[in-house]
Structure 1
Amino acid sequence: MITTVALREELDVYSIRKQFPVLSREVKGKPLVYLDNAATTQKPQVVIDALVDYYSNYNANIHRGIHTLAEEATASFESTRDAVTRFINAPSREQIIFTRGATESINLVAYTWGRQNIKAGDEIIISAMEHHSNIVPWQMLCEEKGAVLKVIPFNGAGELRMDVFEELISPKTKLVSIVHVSNSLGTVNPVKDIIEKAHQAGAIVVVDGAQSTVHLDIDVQAMDCDFFVFSGHKLYGPTGTGVLYGKQHLLESMPPFLGGGEMIKEVSFEKTTYNDLPYKFEAGTPNIADVVALKTAFEFINGVGKQKIREHENALLIYATKQLEMIPQLKIIGQAKEKVSVISFVLDNIHPQDAGILLDNSGIAVRTGHHCTQPCMNIFGIPGTIRASFAVYNTKEEIDILVKGLHKAIKMLS
């Protein structure tokens, strides 16, 4: 919860910044101020080194080779699975499926569990603040199966209307897919309450943790979600990496997503038998190098300490909110009581893209547009927002630079 406190410097943010090579560069002659972390975080040198080390010293395909490089690559790849298991407190490593990202993880559930279990007249519930990747797969499934997609609205502060959710859920509800933290509003949704109510109705729950995994402590067992997804590139890891966690009995009951090598036990022209978990869902050569380096990203986060990171980011959010609220022409979009380090806002009579271009001219990287949440923007009656999002390496001084850049943009564009 956002409370009024001074910016805490309980971690040495300036030493942390030195671990991220890109933060020392200039953009258009100005020091880079990177405030687009909800889109992707920058990578510390140790993650970059892990990628280089794999390709330099033990690049090989995994699981099937018996030579030394193959065994080393396999061991490193599988050690990341163990790291993920610990990071989200999964019951077993077999329940961790590697994908290309949260989007592919959601699609995997929609195409396998969804096609197998959703029938005409069934209902799927999502929220009005979902990312497109948690809307479109369920729309496609509903169109194919004749199912009904229902939407939980939110109030003016960007908080889910739980009273309406309780009205929407019924014996027809088969699946609820909900974002843990909104990428465009920063809202932290009450997923545990949603999961409990969905389970009482006999529905399963998918939690989109793309934005929450880097900020919040994730315990899938305590949460009791049926599926949990996230992307590696949003938590200081490489792009093209993602995770699907699922309850074991559900994963075992689901058909494979893709066919090919590794996901099989035996193949003949008459019949194929599928591999055990997790390999049933990991067909073909995976993104080995990036998955190997993903473990290093977890080690970086654990080394700094998630609580310290969270306290620092929350202090930045409080400071930035206060500074932005002092700009008369600025309106913050989404002011939920429970938020993480995302601030979306609009400027009077100024298109977000125009402001974004001027900020970039000052070396300030923010995100502008609808943030892949067009329905959410439509509810607010706006085409998009300017979004500043914070990470462990951001500072109070960078927020001051953002505020100065906004004043300059307002003066030039008004």
Structure 2
Amino acid sequence: MGADAEIGALLRGARCVARLTQAEVGAACGYSASAVSRIESGRMSVDYPTLLKIAAFLRIAPDQLRASTVPSTINVATVAGGRRPDEEDEVRRRNLLTGVVAAGATAVVGASRAAAAPVDLDVALFQLPQAAPVPLPQLVAQVAAARRDYCATQYARLGQVLPALIAAAEATRDVSKGRARDEANLTLARSYVLAAELANKQHSDAAWVAADRALTAARSSSIPVAVGESSRQLAIAMRRSGRSTAAVSLLTKEAADLDPAHDQTRAVRTTLLLTGAYSAATGKDRTTALSLMEEAGQEADRRPAVPGLFTVEATRTQVDAYLISVWNALGTPDEAVKVAARLNVDRMPTAERRARAWTDVARMWNALGDAPQTFAALQRVEQEAPQEARRPALRALTAGLLYGPTRVEGVREFATRTGALAS
């Protein structure tokens, strides 16, 4: 394989891990989708500065690019170890590409090899099993248990139970009437919210399907909190497909429709504003992002003890965690350092939220080029939630550390343990 083809394969693998389209990569780097396609296939060469720009957008360390080209210097340590430089480069390329492809193709799995195999949500949501109606209290309890699995980052187990849970919720809704039907629609909406959350963790397009079905059930329930929860999931799917402006519009509209006089709906409004701020930041709309963050912070300060949405709380700690992600998305991670310094992750009530906060801190340090701090944050992710550390996005970040210019003790073992490096 020629150098252009090898580099193209590396770029394509990283793009797939990030669940980006060729058009999205091109828009960020000044190329058309067809040009990105030619680069990935090795039919178009670009100069090294341009290649670095594309690699930076895809979170590929420069050292990984050098591993895909003919080395200009001899690695003394490699020669001393009895391996020729070209063999070392080939091994590094093979390990890297294997890790990237594995990260993109493998859904979230358990921390041990004995964990249940992940469910393919793209298939499961269209092939729900047969289910009989169940008493509403039992259904509510089952949804609550599924939420606990999500908050505890037991994603493999959650994926196994969700199809049957959704099927039971639909069957129960279909035979219910009046207020009971509204409650059944609420449980159905929340079941699909969890499916959308899990699909987003897996970088699966099933998030679109789950979010749309969640919102349909939520609107049928006429329960504002459920509508807010489901709207947030649909907005996240929009954002991930590159439609940040549409996501912000949906979130701000739904937030405006909520009654701020009630604590619960005000808390839902706060969490919608937080998601809207991050969505605006991913679209590089700094003004809107910071305005929404400020409003969310003011709301959270007024009601610091209210939980907010089904999976996200409305607290000052959560606001700070989102602020770090907003600064990262705006391309100014240095602004996030002071926020990270005051962030007390231990105050966040669920493992999923704590792991997400440490992920944002890891991305901040990675963008600032601090490999040891990045690795320390990734270790905290694993401590909080081993299955989070095995997510595709986290594996890609770990691979960047492994093949980056700075050698950090323990990264290789971490990469092997979390699946970023094929064993």
Question: Is the pair's TM-score, using the shorter chain for normalization, greater than 0.5?
Answer: no
Question: Which is strand-richer, 1 or 2?
Answer: 1
RCO comparison, higher one (Cα < 8 Å, 6+): 1
Which one has a larger percent helix, Structure 1 or Structure 2? 2
TM-score (norm 2): 0.28
Give the alignment's TM-score, normalised by structure 1.
0.29
